[in-house]
Structure 1
Amino acid sequence: MFRNRLSSLFLSVFVLGFAFLGFAQRADAQVLFGSVSGAVTDQSGAGVPKAHVTLINKATSVQKEADTDESGHYTITDVQPGNYDLKVTAGGFKPLTQTNLTVAANTVMNGDAKLQVGAVSEQVTVEASTVTLQTEKTDLHTDLTEKAILDMPLNQYRNFQTLINLVPGATPGRFQNAIADTPERALSTNINGTNRNNNNTRVDGAADVFVWLPHHAVYIPPAETIQEVNISTNNFDPEQGMTGGAAITVITKSGTNQYHGSAFEYFQNQTLRAKQFFETGPKGDSKLNDFGGTFGGPIKKDKLFFFGSYNGLYERDNRNTGLVTLPTAAIRTGDFSSVLGDYVCTDGTTSATPCAGTKTPVMVTDTNNVSQQDRVGMIFSPSTGAGNGTGRRQYAGNILPAIDPIAAQIIALIPALNAGAPNTDNYSKSATQKLNRNNFDAKVDWNRTSRHSIFAKYSAMKSVFHGEPSLGQAIGDCACDGGLGDFHDFVQLVTVGHTLTLSPTLVVDGNVGFTRMSEYGQTPDFGTNIGSDVLGIPGTNNGSDLRSSGIPFFSITGFADLGNPEGWNPAYRNDWSFTSSHNVRWSHGKHQVSAGTDIIHHHLNHWQPELGSGPRGEFDFSGSTTALNGGATPNLFNAFAQFELGLFNGTGKSDQFIKATAKEWQFGWFVGDRYRITNKFTATLGLRYEYYPLMSRDGAFSFDRYDIANNEVLLGGIGGNPAHLGVTTSKKLFAPRVGVAYQINDKTVVRSGFGITVDPLPLARPLRGFYPLTVGSNFSGVNGFVSVGSFSPNPPAGGSVLPPCAPGTFNPGVCFPVGIPSVCCPDISSGTISLPAQALERTVGPGELKRGYIESWNLMVERKLPADFLVSVGYVGTQTVHQYGDLNVNASLPGTGQLGQPLNVAFGRTTDTLLFQGWLSANYHSFQTAITRQFSKGLMVKGAYTYSKAINWTDDDGWAGLDWNDPNILRRNRAQAGFNTPHIFQLAYVYELPLGKGKEWANSGGAATKILSGWQTSGTFSAISGQPGWDSPLRASGASLNAVAQAQTPDQVGSVKKLGGVGPGNPYYDPTAYAPVTRVGYGNVGRNTLLGPGTVNLDFSLFRTVNLTERFNVQFRVDASNLFNSPHFNNPNGDLTSGSFLEINSAKFDERQFRLGVRFAF
């Protein structure tokens, strides 16, 4: 007995020490639990002091108790989400039981109770209301229940994040980045105008973040394992920090006192799929199997429980991804005679007929000394005329005299045309992607004592992905959701937590978590140095390092990508995050005081030389080298002619010299008080303090920074340099929270609040590793009309007038580089390195690196409506201060080209040099409304409408470049956000048909009752306006602008008419409203000026549940995504130089798809 008591005492002391260690995560453990707070009154409304309140979990029999204070108030904190009975007893009153009180995570449930005078033996039992006003909290949040997740239509991967679309202020969730990186197919969304990186997802308390791509959750719990999801979007409680957009809390299922389980399979294939709008020919083979099972129950009744699951997803998808442009047979031989277009006039306009009258023609001479009028599509010899592109001669007949032999080898790999118009949009891409994914989950809950509960959770995901190239031997991009080649991912998530009740008014809780993600991938051209050994282009691959093997990327404006365009691939990653959170909560009268501390640690480990052009190298062909300065704007045919001559405008390559690592800590402390001033008025006050020390690296140096004044990279901790090189972070990040809720009557409550949250972006994202970790080089010509180099020492006749450079060297204007010049292998021993002229660089400056923060506020009215509906209406706003962004400090002004680059003047440096700092801003204003009906009497409804406007300078804050770096027009970047979606309407429902046993109709027994029983339907309807986020801004040729790191846009020369066309030759907007810019200066079109097409969609499900016995049932269902097969078009082509300018020639791959499913449950 003594030993047992000693062991118990030791464990309690250990847990208390664990609770106050001070380690924590992005958001505190309170969001894992809910609370019940209320007032116990008599029939006159007077408070009943010292009433005893007992809350009983119906699934596990766990009880929590509290006594009311002198005014009749009580609060029970740290309540595990679930279904409860609430019992209230007091001397002289009848005992009261409220049944089926649902407690959700991160919510305070109203537990008011009105007692009747009477004897203890006179029991009163009432059903808890399904419609509960939010009177105790002032945040904005949305709850997704188990029933909503299982019964509402989800996307093809059955991802719960699909339902985040139902959250007011959320832009529609979208897949981003390659399947290779996100095999869980996490969805990205912007909440209330904030950047996608500002969202924070936790699974059972563990931070669920992909450190390198923090807008993604790295692990997505299978739908069958989720008990509930809470999404808090504005004016967070002080317990929640290190998030700016949405704090998303996922609670997974636990075992109960009864054994429960399921087995399921969902299936879809091409037979059940409609054709995509632009799909030509027969549908490609596709198949998706989603299957698995769950099982949970008691190990020891009322004490120890388990829950486990397996989910396998196997996908095969051969898809047509739309039309692209490949060269015709004539163009492949250098014959461009068939592509001549409009005539060019001296005023910069073009005409279908020769310029005459008031229009003076631009006259040119060809290589046979024949004079003629300039036309769009004419190909000019780069070896003629002046160095600025003026005075050039057209190739006679518009036919090249010869083709570079290396270009000819690449052309031989290009497949034959198979669709579309003769010269453009003439090839339909298709290829196969394969995904095998397996998820495993296990959870154990232990009620150690009536006051102490502990849980442990382990999740794992293993996947293999294969992506085929779209152009066969010519590679091209992946006709898939990203990732050429074969990729292997392994994700693990572990979390342990506890709750300890020290007294009825004092509770501590805490959890620690660990998340790890490993990935490695190889491209389809892996293993052979195609660039250097097969094509013979110097400087492409990296000798014996197979990780850089393969074919380079050839980017030809207006044509499909050739070679391997995935500069980020291959990738070898091993990232992890440690999180923990601990809190104490004290209930005292009308106050509920809480305090806690948060810490998170991220650790990134990468070999991925993706800066600039990737490990195989890249060659860019814009068309200006074969165009005339002062003539027609270069188009796609000029670009391909330039490729055939082997003359490129830009080139580059990336080598990983040192493994990229980043280690960083994020700290947070908070104190808060929820003060129930009266039964109708509640105030929430809180203060957080957060601290984000500067990241550091593993290895020889701890940090690196570019010294712009001396053109040197400094390495922290080497050669006497201080560890952080004079870079500091703020120690003044205080984040107050204040909110009030006033209950006008039993049907209406008004809430308002203001709060500040801090941008939690891991610095590993923007500062992962530039020079000297990754040596990314970029070479460009002295102006837009001069090539930077050639494939061969002796380009085709008329290719170049300069002699070839010595191998690996670069001396613009003096010699002509052959292949990619070498930039490699810095000596780090002294701690100070001169930065090569062509090495890409992003750096922070000395002094404070400002971290952004978000101010959020709201004013909402919530009201109960008849038929158990609850509606909220109000205004929600945010403002981001010190948003992270880049400024290219080596940008030049119009007309100055490379010669005008400040660092070129000082040090001969001609490539991008990015200064990263928190110096931008954003704001958001919205009208938001939500309608909710919890499931009762056979119906559940959840909907939202948002009318909003989001304004920013850039749509990201982790890799956030500006369109214009000219200090004279910097504010031109400030415009509506690319993700700005003015109108978003979403409405979802689940409905049990009133037919069959126990229902309103067909309930008399017999065959009709058997056939019609158990039917349900569900659906999600959406109507969403378009977004401007495409080719932002509209693009035009920058040849006449002649400015480095400045976007060029067209001139708007007429009113912009929405024509609504779709497909080749049918523009969506009137292209004649825009004209190319031929002067030295910017076009007059700004950023994000046009909206793309909106979408209307209905996802629909029909299913029937058949009860086999009292405990066993089987469900058969049909899900239809996009039931009416409404095409959801991508945005128009925004490139003025393209032959399909402002045309829509592609659509999203969300055509109608039926899915069949069967689910056995007990």
Structure 2
Amino acid sequence: MAVWLTSGLTAPVHAQGAGGQIEGTVRDEQTAVLPGATVTLRNEQTGVTRVAVTDGNGQYRFPALAPGIYGLKIELQGFATAEAKEMTITIGLTLIRDLSMKLQSVSETITVAGTPPVVDTTKAEIAGVITHQQIETLPINSRQYLSLALLMPGTTVDGTRSFFATVNVGGSMTFNGTGNMVDGTINSWAEDGEPRQDVPEDAVEEFKISNSLYKAEFGLATGGMVQVVTKSGTNAIHGDAFEYFRDKALNEKGVFETVKPDYRRHQFGGSAGGPIMPDRMHFYGAFERTQINEFYTVRTGLAQFYSSVEGTFKRPTDRNLYFGRTDWQISNSQNAFARYLQEDELTLCVNCGGTGASTTSFDQDVPRKSLTLGHTWIRGNHQLNDLRFQYAHAGFFGYPSGTQNFTELGAFPTGRTARQTRQYTFPSMTYGSSYDDASLESRWEFRDTYSINLARHELKFGGEYNDMPYIVDDAINYLVGTYTFSQDQFFNPNDPTSITNLKGAQTFTATSAPVTTLHPSKYGVVFMQDDWKARPNLTLNLGLRWERLYGPVNEDLNPNDFPVPLPYVDVSKRGDLNNFGPRAGFAWDVQRDGRTVVRGGYGLYFGHIRTLAAIEEFRNFHRLSISISNPAYPDPYQGRDPASFIVSSSTPNVSIAANDMVQPLSHQVGGGVSRNLGHDFAIHVDAVYNRTYHDYKTRNINAADPVTGLRPLPQFGRIDQIQSTSDLRYRSAYMKFEKRYSHRYQYMLSYTYTNSRDNAPMARVRDAFDPSIEFGPSNGERRHAVVASGSFLLPYDFTLGALWTARTPLPWTATAGRDLNRDTFNTDLVPGTTRNSGSRSLNLAAVNAWRAQNGLAPIAESQIDSSRIDILDARLSKRFTLGGSLKLELLAQAFNLLNAKNLQAQFGSGRITNALSANFASIVSARPNRQGELAVRVIW
């Protein structure tokens, strides 16, 4: 007979990299340990089995498990067979399952069932997992699974760029501060640090968000970490085919649209998986294509000046995603996998709209592909080796909107350079595009980790090596250049007279020649980790990581490449060799019952340096930058050709890397408490402090003295030095209520309080003589954020899912609209104000005094637009059984269901911050109003 029990011996989980683990102790009814018992583990989806024998302490262990559902069977002569079923392993977790065996009197099986606990009593890490159930049942805009990362506290997208699917996690307030991994290998651009590739939603099993205090095996991030595990096939042939459809008939008119523009979106594809050899080898593949015919609106609020460029314009987008994976259980102790991922994307007029005319931005062609191989070797009950290899190749081609894409790097035919148009920048509008940037990068990654389990110590040793070739063409702002004007005025690009009559040119900038630069980089790591069970209810997570990023600080610069010695450069002093990052944390099971845990810890983390950060140093004298204050107009070169103008100009501008430039580092301190409030319901409260130093900033160290007008080195103009001088102070409190899926429903409610201040990492110092004016609220700081989500399986196979997001406004900076310090950059603050004080503590009296001085009317507090977010998304689906395993699912989604007005001013765009604009402080772009989507899926 079978006896079903609810396990009261389930202990919580602890991190084990991307793979999970099941372990435990087998005892008899008198609690004596039982060595020599045969333990068989079976993945209930793939049929893969592994066998172990309990050791002298009655313990067994199955490491390196893929996320999934598992069952255990324990056999020992003279005892009734014991089983444990429906054990769910999620990414990076170990489930402790202790079992008791009875003396055999009749043929019987003791079966224990249960779900993983919602409170983790063995790790200091502040983290959470987005499960496959959430991905399947919650509304997801554009089928972009990573958007569900925002369910977790301590996450935003406000410090990111719109180019790539990404998220800010923990103390990451820049677009490259978060680490990204897929299937145990790095998924980040070397060029900029953002996620390199997207994964089809159908191919994502689950992903983990680590806000802070993650272990020593992970790094290259000053904020948090995102780890994705992809799907594998099972013993059953399964898959789906789908079409998601949107049309303007399903949408509401946008905030700034007078008529509803044409719009149509098709997103279609499918997946399939199954056995190659049942119980041994499986395959899984997925494909997804997105075709968007959408429109954007240019609105300056000054139709009397810019009506010729305002309106609604077409912007098509095409994207293909390909995924393929094979898993092979070679033997009871070895398994391997191979995974291929490809993404091809073409987006037109990136970031167009708002105050940017239809010619202002650029088109973007981004092909990407990667191959990852993995091999895991289990050596007995106590040792494990995990090997990963990755080859990735990615290209980025950005070029003026509406022109031809040139993909041959190093070639600059006339057709390529002639496609740029002069850019005109006014307080309330920008026209023209001189953007031309193309790059190719590769990544060869080798990663190996060896684990040893010694009684109360779980030890890990490992390392990795990355070789990243990189080549880039840069013809940005080539010759035609950019004019910046101090006042709004009539402009019509189709009327040569209006262009000739423009007045108030403040600055002109350009570059002298296109250049091709080779700039490879390398990354190496060695780490050790000890998870020590110091007491039965106290676990210590101790680790040490050393890493070395070679290349971005220009150790390979050859000073002899330049006709004139570069000032302040000593390559022999470069290199960052002392990046030792200790990490220590604890988890305390207060009452030894697995219901309440107190955790805390400290870690030192080293982050990514953009390959592009100091690349201009290689281009000195091969390409010169032109910066003219109070230029002649319309001919900045005053009758000469650009080459002779450059020769006759007084002094060259140069760019150099500081000799002490290093990787950014962050000190992370965190702690919190979790309480199990029921079988699958818990509350988690945490506090995080992140102090990040040494991200780069650009500062002119040869600025002219404001009194004498003299420069320290008069033979040069600007000397832009890339310095490791940024400083970020992130303080945050997280609260999360979590109900895992059971009894046909799940939900999560999270709250984040954030106070983050910095000195504008990765930006140019506004005042070379007073860098302190930069310090203020971080660009991505929203003081309060609430996110609620849930899904419910209703009668008749209906499923309802919903997601509500509310976030307070972003800060912003009031700029003067004039080059007050005469550095040829029009970024100076309004006198009497501070950076990012908008929507915080803006000195409006100082703004209005400045406007009055320039003949403009005052601005009232009520005229300042808010960038707060209030969005409710919903999803309703119904499944029909067509026969056997074949099902039909009809689905409807509504994004911004309540049609709330959400003005958008993210990452420095969308809001008019120039105080000389008549529409100062207004936001001229918005998130979409209500959009509907219909879908059909065939599932088998």
> TM-score under structure 1 normalisation?
0.72
Letter of the 1:970 counterpart = P
Alignment of 1:1051-1130 (within 5 A): 1051=831, 1074-1076=848-850, 1092-1130=866-904
Out of 235, 240, 244, the position equivalent to 2:218 is 240
- Separation in 1, partners of 2:837, 2:622: 47
| 1:977 maps onto 2:782 in alignment | no
In 2, are the aligned partners of 1:874 and 1:927 still within 8 Å (CA)? yes
In 2, are the aligned partners of 1:687 and 1:735 still within 8 Å (CA)? yes
In 2, are the aligned partners of 1:964 and 1:1047 still within 8 Å (CA)? no
Alignment of 1:290-301 (within 5 A): 290-301=267-278
Instruction: Name 1:737's counterpart in structure 2.
Output: 583
- Separation in 1, partners of 2:159, 2:450: 38
Out of 962, 970, 985, the position equivalent to 2:765 is 962
Deviation at 1:192, TM superposition (A): 2.3
Alignment of 1:655-804 (within 5 A): 655-695=512-552, 702-703=556-557, 712-713=565-566, 725-744=571-590, 745-767=593-615, 771-772=619-620, 775-781=623-629, 787-792=630-635
Q: Which has the higher strand share?
A: 2
Instruction: Give the SS at the match of 2:919.
Output: coil
* Runs (5+) with no aligned partner, structure 2: 1-14, 406-410, 855-863, 906-910
Instruction: Name 2:511's counterpart in structure 1.
Output: 654
Instruction: Name 2:369's counterpart in structure 1.
Output: 492
Q: Please tell me the root mean square deviation across aligned C-alpha atoms, in Å.
A: 3.7
Letter of the 2:634 counterpart = F
Letter of the 1:923 counterpart = R
Specify whether residues 192 and 521 from structure 1 end up closer, same or farther in structure 2 by C-alpha distance, changes over 3 A only.
closer
In 2, are the aligned partners of 1:705 and 1:845 still within 8 Å (CA)? no
- Separation in 2, partners of 1:934, 1:703: 54
Instruction: Give the SS at the match of 2:136.
Output: helix
- Separation in 1, partners of 2:483, 2:642: 16
Instruction: Name 1:586's counterpart in structure 2.
Output: 452
Deviation string, structure 1 residues 1052-1081 (Cα, Å, up to 9, x no partner): 599x99999xxxxxxx9967863218999x
Instruction: Name 1:1010's counterpart in structure 2.
Output: none
Out of 920, 941, 952, the position equivalent to 2:726 is 920
Instruction: Give the SS at the match of 2:684.
Output: strand
Letter of the 1:285 counterpart = D
- Separation in 1, partners of 2:633, 2:559: 34
Specify whether residues 572 and 881 from structure 1 end up closer, same or farther in structure 2 by C-alpha distance, changes over 3 A only.
closer
Instruction: Name 2:925's counterpart in structure 1.
Output: 1147
Out of 373, 390, 402, the position equivalent to 1:513 is 390
Instruction: Name 2:414's counterpart in structure 1.
Output: 545
In 2, are the aligned partners of 1:267 and 1:289 still within 8 Å (CA)? yes
Instruction: Name 2:717's counterpart in structure 1.
Output: 910
Deviation at 1:661, TM superposition (A): 1.9
Deviation at 1:585, TM superposition (A): 0.9
| 1:319 maps onto 2:296 in alignment | yes
Bigger drift between 255-264 and 90-99 goes to 90-99
| 1:1027 maps onto 2:814 in alignment | no
Alignment of 1:395-544 (within 5 A): 428-467=310-349, 477=356, 479=358, 483-485=361-363, 487-520=364-397, 522-524=399-401, 526=403
Instruction: Name 1:1014's counterpart in structure 2.
Output: 797
Letter of the 2:482 counterpart = E
Specify whether residues 887 and 130 from structure 1 end up closer, same or farther in structure 2 by C-alpha distance, changes over 3 A only.
same
Letter of the 2:148 counterpart = L
Instruction: Name 1:378's counterpart in structure 2.
Output: none
- Separation in 1, partners of 2:178, 2:651: 36
| 1:858 maps onto 2:676 in alignment | no
Instruction: Name 2:9's counterpart in structure 1.
Output: none
Out of 152, 165, 169, the position equivalent to 2:150 is 165
In 1, are the aligned partners of 2:474 and 2:514 still within 8 Å (CA)? no
- Separation in 2, partners of 1:206, 1:1154: 36
Specify whether residues 643 and 705 from structure 1 end up closer, same or farther in structure 2 by C-alpha distance, changes over 3 A only.
farther
Instruction: Give the SS at the match of 2:232.
Output: coil
Bigger drift between 109-118 and 53-62 goes to 109-118
| 1:208 maps onto 2:187 in alignment | yes
Instruction: Name 2:916's counterpart in structure 1.
Output: 1137
- Separation in 1, partners of 2:627, 2:824: 12
- Separation in 2, partners of 1:434, 1:1016: 32
In 2, are the aligned partners of 1:95 and 1:120 still within 8 Å (CA)? no
In 2, are the aligned partners of 1:615 and 1:654 still within 8 Å (CA)? yes
- Separation in 2, partners of 1:186, 1:218: 9
Instruction: Give the SS at the match of 1:582.
Output: strand
Specify whether residues 879 and 519 from structure 1 end up closer, same or farther in structure 2 by C-alpha distance, changes over 3 A only.
closer
| 1:944 maps onto 2:750 in alignment | yes
Deviation at 1:772, TM superposition (A): 3.3
Instruction: Name 2:443's counterpart in structure 1.
Output: 577
Instruction: Name 1:888's counterpart in structure 2.
Output: 700
Letter of the 1:465 counterpart = T
In 1, are the aligned partners of 2:387 and 2:447 still within 8 Å (CA)? yes
Out of 249, 265, 276, the position equivalent to 2:254 is 276
Letter of the 2:336 counterpart = I
Specify whether residues 196 and 657 from structure 1 end up closer, same or farther in structure 2 by C-alpha distance, changes over 3 A only.
closer
- Separation in 2, partners of 1:1045, 1:620: 9
Specify whether residues 688 and 508 from structure 1 end up closer, same or farther in structure 2 by C-alpha distance, changes over 3 A only.
same
The aligned length equals 900
Specify whether residues 1027 and 78 from structure 1 end up closer, same or farther in structure 2 by C-alpha distance, changes over 3 A only.
same
Deviation at 1:137, TM superposition (A): 2.3
Specify whether residues 288 and 1078 from structure 1 end up closer, same or farther in structure 2 by C-alpha distance, changes over 3 A only.
closer
Specify whether residues 743 and 1129 from structure 1 end up closer, same or farther in structure 2 by C-alpha distance, changes over 3 A only.
same
Specify whether residues 1037 and 304 from structure 1 end up closer, same or farther in structure 2 by C-alpha distance, changes over 3 A only.
closer
Instruction: Name 1:1006's counterpart in structure 2.
Output: none
Instruction: Give the SS at the match of 2:912.
Output: coil
- Separation in 2, partners of 1:51, 1:523: 69
Deviation at 1:895, TM superposition (A): 6.2
In 1, are the aligned partners of 2:899 and 2:930 still within 8 Å (CA)? yes
Out of 588, 603, 607, the position equivalent to 2:469 is 603
Letter of the 2:334 counterpart = H
Identity %: 20
Deviation at 1:118, TM superposition (A): 4.7
In 2, are the aligned partners of 1:556 and 1:643 still within 8 Å (CA)? no
Larger radius of gyration: 1
Letter of the 1:454 counterpart = A
Bigger drift between 640-649 and 234-243 goes to 640-649
- Separation in 2, partners of 1:926, 1:734: 26
Instruction: Give the SS at the match of 2:176.
Output: helix
Alignment of 1:251-270 (within 5 A): 251-270=229-248
In 1, are the aligned partners of 2:119 and 2:597 still within 8 Å (CA)? yes
Specify whether residues 583 and 131 from structure 1 end up closer, same or farther in structure 2 by C-alpha distance, changes over 3 A only.
same
Instruction: Give the SS at the match of 2:255.
Output: coil
Instruction: Give the SS at the match of 1:659.
Output: strand
In 1, are the aligned partners of 2:209 and 2:225 still within 8 Å (CA)? yes
Deviation at 1:981, TM superposition (A): 1.3
Instruction: Give the SS at the match of 2:40.
Output: strand
Deviation string, structure 1 residues 146-169 (Cα, Å, up to 9, x no partner): 2211221112x2111101111221
| 1:843 maps onto 2:843 in alignment | no
In 1, are the aligned partners of 2:912 and 2:919 still within 8 Å (CA)? yes
Alignment of 1:993-1012 (within 5 A): 993=794, 995=795
Deviation at 1:317, TM superposition (A): 0.7
